[in-house]
Amino acid sequence: MSLLVYTENWNGKFKKLSLELVSYASGVGEIMNSDVIALTIGPVEEDELMRLAEYGASRIIVAEHDALKEYDTLTYASVITQLAEKEGSDVIVLANNNQGKGVAPVIAARLAAGLAAGVTGLPVSVDPFRIDKRAYSGNAMARLEIKTAVRILTLAQNSYDLKSNRRDAVIEKYQPVIENSPAIKIEDVQRQEGKLLLTDAEIVVSGGRGMKSPDNWVHIEELASLLGGATACSRPVSDEGWRPHGEHTGQTGKVIAPNLYIAAGISGATQHIAGVSSSKYIVAINSDKDAPIFEVAQYGIVGDALKVLPALVAAVKAAKND
Amino acid sequence: MKILVCISNVPDTTTRVKFTEGNRNLDSTGVQWVINPWDELSLTRALELKDNASNGISSVTVAHVGPASSEPTIRKALAIGADDAVRVNCDASDSYSVALQLAEVVKEGGYDIVMCGIESSDHNGSSVGGMIAGLLDVPLVSAVSSLDLRGGEPLISREMDGGREIVTTSLPMVAVVQKGIAKEPRIAAMRGIMMARSKPVKVVEPVDTAALTEVIEYEIPAPRAACRFIDPENAAELIFLLQNEAKII
């Protein structure tokens, strides 16, 4: 038996998420006594590939094929399915991100394998196979039993701590059989170059209606940039057009789990909390002491965000100069 | 061209969930059931596409897997503007069995575009749409944030990490939609509510399937420790605590 982890790469580079996946897979592999095979769809340079060995991959497979240059969901799913069958993998691990959410259910359908989406930890038991996952949009955890011999897991981002587990890994090239040409044709690509992605950020500074005007986002941006974080907003703010939709965090926007989430002028509607409740620390700044955001925050300041944020900026600057 | 919108019946998103029977089932006392928010947005977009006659959409059908008790949610979708509905008469036990039932509906009805929300707000499985495409082996575009038609061909934005792509594909297809697909969910007008009563809801019996997964129990996460309040005049204390107590900056 083996454990297959699909690690996406971004123009040939891995991210912390990729390492988290391998580290997680190696944790599952330890429980199940299986070796970890990491698959990426290439091309990726050897040095970059070897980073996966640091976290427990004992075989690193790079699939290359002309039909894989662009991301076609069904084609990528076929490649992963094919390799899982060839290697007799009984657990397949993917990220619960855009691509993982796309391909995992297709693999599950093709293999008639049970899928647990958005898992946050190792299985609680292997026989029967039981694992905890997010449910009711963060308001509950569900203990899910997967009844099939092959299990597919998608790991929530920033939910598993990296553990060094160096292996002498071998790198293998893999040329999958691709019968159908990709169904998706790409007409245009719009990239945000150089900007820290909200879902990758370990620190997020977010503003709500309490910020009063889009002009006041200078404070949010300044604090985020000082802390090396990304900016976000609540739904009313993106609906008003004060901030781009991509920044909306919450149940129907982005679900994030940074180490630190600073909510300024956000009251904390259930739908907003659903998108940020997995953050390790939440700081709330709100002028209403009864705002529900304080129920989920570890640290709170009751006050006007427009006054508190500049004070925080000054305090971070002072702390950095110490 | 025919569009099928798959809808799930979920507790209103402001519900404070509780569980019964050894934490195996949702305590539905006082729960307000609604159309899953993403499915409501996909229905809205399907109707917007139909409103533009040049798109040549003949019907927007909603499909739902669930018992007769979920009929009010189906009627709500009809009141918003769907032309008709198909209900597969069984409990929605897990994502695979739901996808299998819906794949049958798609096969029977010959729909060109199947729209599914990215996830249901109760199970957060992000799986049904992708599974339907996998089962039927039809093109799948996921993370769809806009869907248009250009001369009978779908023109789609899909979100990628760090950007978006404009893509097209052949029909029939499955679109798994998320934020951006429609601005606000369409609200049922009085006329729509009246008309919904007479719109056809076809009830079909399920095909044989077994669930591949089962929820053994639910747990409500322990509340976080009480918030520690810091004097607004002393912002430096917060920064000190984040550095030295939480050790995260």
What mean pLDDT do residues B109-118 have? 97
Q: What are the structural domains of chain B?
A: 2-223 (3.40.50.620)
Q: Which residues of A touch B215 (CB under 8 A)?
A: 135, 142-145
Pairing of strands A185-191, A230-233: unpaired
∠ at Cα A205 (A201, A210), nearest 5°? 155
A143 lies within 8 A of chain B by CB: yes
pLDDT band for A249, please (50, 70, 90 cuts).
very high
Write the residue in A189, A259, A314 that is nearest to B163 by C-beta.
A189
Q: Does A86 touch chain B (CB under 8 A)?
A: no
The answer to whether the beta carbons of residues B47 and B80 sit under 8 Å apart is: yes
Put simply, the answer to whether B179 touches A105 (Cβ < 8 Å) is: no
The shortest CB-CB distance from A185 to any of B145, B169, B180 is to B169
Residue B113: what pLDDT? 98
**Predicted local confidence at residue A76, as pLDDT:** 97
Report the phi/psi class of residue B212: left, alpha or beta, with left for phi > 0 and alpha for psi in -120 to 50: alpha
Tell me the sheet residues that pair with B20.
Answer: B25
Burial of B204 (C-beta count, 10 Å sphere; 0-12/13-18/19+): middle
A194 has pLDDT over 80 = no
CB A283 within 8 A of CB A229: no
Residue A1: predicted pLDDT: 81
- Cβ atoms A234, A252 nearer than 8 A: no
Nearest CA in chain B to A275: B121
Determine whether the interchain pair B163/A108 forms a contact, defined as Cβ–Cβ distance below 8 Å.
Answer: no
Beta carbons of A315 and B128 less than 8 Å apart: no
Q: Looking at the predicted structure, is the pLDDT value of residue A192 above 90? A: no
What average pLDDT does chain A have?
A: 95
Q: Measure B198 CA to nearest chain A CA, in Å.
A: 32
Q: How confident is the model at residue B21, as a pLDDT?
A: 82
Residues B118-177 pLDDT 10s: 999 999 999 999 999 999 999 999 999 999 999 999 999 999 887 899 999 999 999 999
- A316 in contact with chain B, both atoms CB, cutoff 8 A: yes
Cα–Cα distance, B22 to B24 (Å, whole number): 5
Lookup: tokens for B63: 């499909």
Distance CA A59, CA A82 (A): 16
Q: Which domains does chain A have, with CATH numbers?
A: 2-174 (3.40.50.620), 203-321 (3.40.50.1220)
User: In chain A, positions 49-68, which contact chain B (CB-CB < 8 Å)?
Assistant: none
The whole-angstrom separation of Cα A288 and Cα A281 is 20
Q: How many residue contacts between A and B have a Cβ separation below 8 Å?
A: 284
Report CB contact under 8 Å: B246, A148. no
Supply B46's token pair.
């399907």
Q: Give the Cα separation of B49 and B47 in Å (integer).
A: 5
Confidence of residue A251 (pLDDT cuts 50, 70, 90): confident
Which residues of A fall within a CB distance of 8 Å from B240? 319
A294: CB partners within 8 A, 6+ apart: A268, A284, A286, A300, B227
> What crossing angle do the helices spanning B235-244 and A305-321 adopt, rounded to 10°?
50
| Residues 6+ positions from A3 with CB-CB distance below 8 Å | A25, A28, A29, A32, A34, A35, A36, A37, A89, A90, A91, A92, A93
| A269 contact residues in B (CB cutoff 8 A) | 14
B28-50 pLDDT per residue, tens: 999 999 999 999 999 999 999 99
Q: Which residue of B has its CA nearest to A97?
A: B161
Candidate from B123, B161, B246 with C-beta closest to A97: B161
Residue B163: predicted pLDDT = 85
- Mutation target vs A (from B14, B170, B181, B249; most A CBs, 10 A cutoff): B249
CA distance, residue B200 to nearest chain A CA (Å): 30
Main-chain phi, psi angles of B33, to 5 degrees: -95, 135
What letters, b where the CB count within 10 A reaches 16 and e where it falls short, cover A144-176? bbbebebbbbbbbbbbbeeeebebebebeebeb
Does the beta-carbon distance from B230 to A315 stay under 8 Å?
A: no
CA A235 to each of CA A143, A247, A251, A259, B38: distance values in angstroms, whole numbers, following the listed order:
30, 9, 9, 21, 15
Q: Do B125 and A311 touch (CB under 8 A)?
A: no
Q: Which residues of B touch A106 (CB under 8 A)?
A: 130-131, 133-134, 140
Looking at residue B71, what is its pLDDT? 96
Strand partners, A279: none
Measured between alpha carbons, how far is A211 from A220 in angstroms, rounded to an integer?
Answer: 9
A252 inside 8 A of chain B by CB: yes
What would the pLDDT profile of A53-87 be if each residue is shown by its tens digit? Answer: 999 999 999 999 999 999 999 999 999 999 999 99
Q: pLDDT digit string (tens) for A293-318?
A: 999 999 999 999 999 999 999 999 99
CA distances from B238 to A53, A311, B234 (A): 39, 10, 8
Left (φ > 0), alpha (ψ -120 to 50) or beta: where does B223 sit?
beta
> B212 to chain A: which residues are within 8 Å by CB?
108, 112-115, 146-148
Q: According to the model, what pLDDT value does residue B198 have? A: 95
Nearest to residue B169, comparing CAs of B134, B145, B142, B135?
B142
Mean per-residue pLDDT over chain B, rounded: 95
Q: A190 contacts in B (CB within 8 Å)?
A: 163-166
The 3-class secondary structure across chain A, one letter per residue, is CEEEEECCCECCECCHHHHHHHHHHHHHHHHHCCEEEEEEECCCCHHHHHHHHHHCCCEEEEECCHHHCCCCHHHHHHHHHHHHHHHCEEEEEEECCHHHHHHHHHHHHHHCCEEEEEECCCCCECCCEEEEEEEHHHCEEEEEEECCCCEEEEECCCCCCCCCCCCCCEEEEECCCCCCCCCCEEEEEEECCCCCCCCCCCEEEEECHHHCCHHHHHHHHHHHHHHCCEEEECHHHHHCCCCCHHHEECCCCECCCCCEEEEECCCCCHHHHHHHCCCCEEEEEECCCCCCHHHHCCEEEECCHHHHHHHHHHHHHHHHHC
Query: Would you state the pLDDT for residue A246?
Result: 87
**How many angstroms separate the CA atoms of B109 and B39, rounded?**
19
Find how far residue B215's CA is from the centre of its chain. 20
Are A190 and B232 inside 8 Å of each other by CB?
A: no
For an interface test with A, which of B161, B215, B228 has the most A Cβ atoms less than 10 Å from its Cβ? B161
CB contact under 8 A, B161 and A199: yes
Structure tokens at A86: 């060839």
List the end-to-end C-alpha distance of chain B, in Å, as a whole number.
54
Q: B130 and A99 in contact by Cβ < 8 A?
A: no
Percent of chain B with pLDDT over 70: 100
C-alpha distances out from residue B115 to A100, A119, A298, B102, B139, Å: 19, 25, 40, 11, 12
Q: Do A104 and B130 touch (CB under 8 A)?
A: yes
What is the SS3 assignment for B102? helix
Query: Per residue in B186-228, pLDDT tens?
Result: 999 999 999 999 999 999 999 999 999 999 999 998 877 899 9
